[in-house]
Amino acid sequence: MPSTSVRFPTVKVYDHPLIQHKLTILRDRRTGHEQFRVLLNQIAGLMAYEVSRNLPVRTLAVETPVARTTGTELASPTTIVPILRAGLAMMDGLLALFPEARVGHIGIYRDEKTAKPVTYYAKLPPDIADGPAIVVDPMLATGGSAAHAVDILKERGVRDIRMMCLVAAPEGVEALVRAHPELPIHVAAIDERLNERFYIVPGLGDAGDRIFGTQ
């Protein structure tokens, strides 16, 4: 079970030793993009178990080879929404555990001068409001992109939204909590701070560049 942040009650921190072990390797500047992607997806899969813990379910009658019994099934369609581009790299880990999920996409970039989010793409299922949505992004820096993505989902009528990321800055968490105080936020670590370039410290560098080998 993840622990609840003392400072931010809606934030769950995944301090599991296996997750922290993999996160430490991700932080290492010597870790190449191939291994980085593998580890990122492994952590995403480990976190998905708890992120999806209280998804709504309904009873289902099933006939086993021996007898009739009652089980459960997910009551509504769940949509995973990666924030482009880095969020895409967590999808294999999530879909390996959760193949029935739909996938929407939101493209947001951060203006380097203002640090404000700018939307350039949004493709979501037309009935996304019928079930939960899990927003995925490895880094929660200023919180602007995440808050903006949640705004878009709320405008589409989504009522059950969860945020899942790898590393967060306190400033980003605070901004996201301020914008959406009811939002459950799942992180592997809350780091020290943002630097003057809005990078998380100690962080792990630019996640997109490290994932796709473009740095």
33: which residues sit within 8 A by CB, 6+ positions away?
A: 210, 211, 212, 213
- Per the document, the length of the chain is 215
Fill in the amino acid letter for 127.
D
Q: What angle do CA 194, 198, 201 make, to 5 degrees?
A: 35
Q: Which residues are catalytic?
A: 110, 114, 206, 209
Q: Find residue 107's DSSP bridge partners.
A: 84, 121
Structural contact between residues 15 and 2, judged by C-beta atoms closer than 8 angstroms? yes
